[in-house]
Amino acid sequence: MPLAGNVGASYYGDMTKRTDAAGNYICPQYDALHRVTDVGTNSGVCKRFRFDNSNGVTGTKPAGVTVSNGLGRLAEAETDNCSAWPPTPITDEWFSYSNRGETTDLWQSSPHSGGYYHNVVTYWANGLPNVLSQNGGPTYVSNPPTNRVVSTSGFAYVASSLAGTSKP
């Protein structure tokens, strides 16, 4: 059964506007490779995606952000209130990749985060996660055959729970 509403498309087949029965709409924009780069809405929140080795929505990367192996991949995902250009981000995420294309770094900022959180993941040769660390906080190390967490640092409760002695 078709959905109530309207869909418009460009000459190249890219959707230009979708309206539902309640009058809510989204208007995506695309780059030359037909990847969605911007999604405008009448709800007051825009979503923006930047690919390759982009300097992002605002034209500059935040301090400390380095995008490695970004060619052909998502570099930034951002939300804002669709106001004046350049927009002020509500949420902002940046991504870095290994040579094999695994996400190795994530920088994330949101209204109450007080800056960018930085998460780092390394991988075993078989592609399973090895070490996950968060902003100098807790670190998790996995065992390659089982991919179970074998050691942690930063959270005594987590470490003791994994050892079989839980604390209240």
**DSSP type of residue 130:** E
What range does the domain containing 144 cover?
A: 124-168
| pLDDT attached to residue 135 | 77
What's the angle, vertex CA 132, arms to CA 118 and CA 168, rounded to 5?
A: 100
Count of C-beta atoms within a 10 Å radius of residue 24:
12
- If asked whether residues 110 and 129 sit together in one domain, one would say no
- If asked whether residues 12 and 87 sit together in one domain, one would say yes
- If asked whether residues 15 and 82 sit together in one domain, one would say yes
Per-residue pLDDT of the chain (168 residues; tens, 9 = 90+): 344 455 555 656 777 888 888 888 888 999 999 999 999 988 889 999 999 988 999 889 999 999 999 999 999 999 999 887 888 899 999 999 999 999 999 999 999 888 899 999 988 888 888 888 887 677 777 766 665 666 655 544 333 333 333 333
- If asked whether residues 139 and 64 sit together in one domain, one would say no
Measured CA to CA, the distance from residue 161 to residue 147 in angstroms comes to: 17
Token couple for 33: 């490779």
- If asked whether residues 87 and 59 sit together in one domain, one would say yes
- If asked whether residues 43 and 80 sit together in one domain, one would say yes
pTM of the model: 0.77
Number of folded domains in the chain? 2
Residues composing the chain = 168
| pLDDT attached to residue 97 | 96
- If asked whether residues 14 and 75 sit together in one domain, one would say yes
